[in-house]
Amino acid sequence: MNDSPGRAVPGPSPSDGERPGAPEGRGGTEGGTPPPAGGPKWSAEQPPAGEWSSPGTPQPPKPPQQQPQPGAGWGSYGPQGPQGGQYGYPGGPGQWGKPPAAKPGVIPLRPLDLGEILDGAVATMRTHWRTVLPITLVVATVVQVISVLVQKYTYADLAIASDPGSQADLKEALDALGGSMVALLANGFVQLIGTIVATAMLTMIFSRAVLGHGSSIGEAWREARPQLPRLLGLTLLLALGGILVVLVLLLPGILLGSIGIALVGGLAALPLLVWLALKFSLASPALMLEKSSVLTSLRRSSRLVQGSWWRIFGITALTGLITAFVSAIIVWPLTAVGLAIGLADGGMEGLENGTAATGWAPLILSAVGAVIAQTITMPIQSGVTVLLYVDQRIRREALDLELARAAGLENYGPDTAAPPTGG
């Protein structure tokens, strides 16, 4: 207890009037006469009656505490925070984890963690499935139908040309090989175009889902169509850059005729390609959402990824593992059933000459599995990329303020709870 002069004692205490060695009359008289004012120890101003209660006395009910309004963002947290006497900064007293943030759409408007990015991608696919799933279903179906036709007739031509019992000469074998390569390249180009179209439209759908807005297939197509040529150019440029990196690192071994040097160059190319792929992984959403050029989107991605490469790598790698596992559990059983049907029709001879895998049953069942897998996994991969882009801009450029204004949230921002200054 502080006995300094001029300090009011917080309420009466039984020991205050019975201090050992206190002068007579210091603690009060039998009639309850208060001690004289202006003494050397105690202040004349004492707390009002009823201000303090002894232990066991019932306490009056406390007024209800004011809670933050639903949907309010960081601006609703003033110096005292959402709980009386508690501070509202992340990790402050009385808080666990991150404070609530405005969530007009599928993600809260603040820096995101891994679970929120994955949940945002899945939530968009679940909430807007009428728009998302038809896009991926149509693209996957077209790609797989063409792929089945190419595999059926291309592999059949190769099997005939390589048959040791046939009388085909070298020219026929080369013609069959050339035709097969053309068909495979055409199939790859169709897959590339389908993937670009789906990625562009899904990017627009996810960007609107962040704001809590829906999007029809027609709206997504109209928004994505002007940027499709640039997205194609970006994809081809990245592919060409990757090929050039590999050729440059393999060139010394090829020129010197050394398999060891070529192998070292190939091993060095792998981590370099991974690093470049992650460095420019956000170029696609930057190009689509900022309506920028190819080179500008590459520079934007490089700046956004800088300092967060390992974090983006971890999220991207985990997403790849999840989608690969989902695809495997869908495709492999159907492929196994198709091979079993092919073996039942052609026997062991079909397994030896490779025709068991090129029959209609295994090709169709494998394609059905691929269609289902791509319909599910393509939105997840595109959604994670878009949300990583949004997350990096929130962290570096305070994009959450712009998104809040676009979503129509009022009084959102870090300074909305600041007291008014005199003017």
**Is the CA virtual torsion 403, 405, 411, 413 positive or negative?**
positive
d(CA 6, CA 42): 6
Torsion region of 408: left, alpha or beta (phi above 0 gives left; psi -120 to 50 gives alpha): left
Buried b (16+ CB within 10 A) or exposed e, 74-104: bbbbeeebbbeeebbeeeeeebeeebbbbbb
pLDDT at 408: 84
pLDDT at 170: 62
**How many C-beta atoms lie closer than 10 Å to residue 317's C-beta?**
12
State the amino acid at position 392 in one-letter form.
Q
pTM for this model (two decimals)? 0.70
pLDDT at 173: 60
Counting other chains too, the contacts that 372-375 makes at CB distance below 8 Å and 24 or more residues apart are 372/330, 373/326, 373/327, 373/330, 373/331, 374/136, 374/139, 374/140, 374/143, 374/144, 374/327, 375/133, 375/136, 375/137, 375/140
**Tens-binned pLDDT, residue by residue, of the chain (423 aa):** 444 443 333 434 443 444 444 444 444 444 444 444 444 444 455 445 444 444 444 555 544 444 433 333 333 222 333 333 333 334 334 344 555 788 999 999 999 999 999 999 999 999 999 999 999 999 999 999 988 888 877 765 555 444 544 444 566 666 666 666 777 787 888 889 999 999 999 999 999 999 999 889 999 999 999 999 999 999 999 999 999 999 999 998 888 888 889 899 989 999 999 999 999 999 999 999 999 999 999 999 999 999 999 999 999 999 999 999 999 999 999 988 888 887 776 555 655 555 666 778 888 999 999 999 999 999 999 999 999 999 999 999 999 999 988 888 877 765 544 444 443
Contact criterion met (CB below 8 Å) for 220 and 130? no
- How many CA within 13 A on the CB side of residue 118? 15
Contact criterion met (CB below 8 Å) for 143 and 368? no
Contact criterion met (CB below 8 Å) for 223 and 231? no
d(CA 194, CA 186): 12
d(CA 387, CA 310): 16
Contact criterion met (CB below 8 Å) for 26 and 35? yes
